[in-house]
Amino acid sequence: MKAFFLGWTAQYEHRFIAALAGHRPVRHLQPARVLQRAQRKLQSLNKRLMGAPLSDAWLGRLACRLSGAGPQDLLVCNEGQVRRHINPAVVRAFPGRKVLLVRDLVDSAFVAQVRPWFNAIYSFDQQQCAALGMLPLDQFFALGYEEARARRGQGTARRPRTCFFLGRDKHRASTLQALAEGLIANGCEPDFHIVRDDSTEKACAYHVDDLLDYEENLARAQRADVLVEINQPGQSGATLRTLEAAYFGKKLITNNAAVAQLPLYHPNNVFIWKEGSPKGLPNGSPDGFEDGDQGGLAGLGAFLDAPLVPLPDAVLYRYSPEAMLDRLVADAQGLPCPVKEP
């Protein structure tokens, strides 16, 4: 069984596909540019036609034929790109089994639209799975397991300690600024890159205009002692930043209390913080917090000073691209063959 990845366009997505392709039957399915141009022209023509629209099914079938896909193969799609351009036609025409990986928060309307296209839909968010009837799947790292393991513990022993954050503002600037002040008070230097967006109301010293590319992101994460993730409301489960901390042997400061329930968690390694809550507990009460003071950062200094506890290889492998593919292939063996589009 070959696995074809469709709609994975980000730098880090190219990285994990390339890593898998080095030792697994994996391909990046990118329809030829001439087919993409033909689809755009067909779409433009359909907007001008008064009658029934012309079908793009033949473009999807041609893209699949050129890729070499067969009925025993697996198509793995990214929810962010699945409805764009020629991709819907490719999905419907793919001759083998088809799964969708939902990496962001979606709604029931999206799931209802795409469910007929796929044998299975997975999400990395347990709450979203329960609410929308998707299958839970562990988040996976963007580097292959062996490459990530080789990078583990790399960095510098310089002082002061540094703490790295990179991400769009998304109304998080005030939260991050409060965290930066707490870090400085505990001898840790913030290396924060908050990218301005439509939510930015008041600029701060950590605002920048552009995201770093993925290689620079990895380099800064490896040089840092501590990484930060601030999730969007309603988001739970492991993020890529959580996995970077685990794989690279870094401490993590997060506002996601659900991390305490993951095999990746150790109180020496993860500080669970809730902005504005009285006291964030790095070693977790049942709800992650208890009464206290210091704006949620009491105990931060002790957390930073505590020795990092390495995670077992078996835990790290569970969140690797290889483990993700193993799960999808194993599940696919029991899935019914899809109905082919005429």
Distances (CA, A) of 166 to 144, 163, 175, 180, 257: 22, 10, 14, 13, 20
- Percent of the chain at pLDDT exceeding 90: 50
- Tens-place pLDDT, residues 4-59: 999 998 888 988 899 899 889 999 999 999 999 998 999 888 888 877 788 889 99
Res. 121 pLDDT band, cuts 50 70 90: very high
Q: Which two tokens stand for residue 216?
A: 């620079």
Longest dimension (CA), the chain: 70
pLDDT, one tens digit per residue, over 258-309 is 889 899 999 999 999 875 543 333 444 333 333 333 456 778 999 999 999 9
CB 98 within 8 A of CB 77: yes
Distance of alpha carbon 249 from alpha carbon 152, whole angstroms = 6
Are 242 and 229 within 8 A, CB to CB?
A: yes
The answer for 93, left when phi > 0, alpha when psi is -120 to 50, beta otherwise, is alpha
Contact 208, 190 (CB under 8 A): no
Of the listed ranges 27-36, 154-163, 189-198, the least confidently predicted one is: 154-163
pLDDT tens per residue across span 46-100: 888 877 788 889 999 999 999 999 999 999 999 999 998 899 999 999 999 999 9
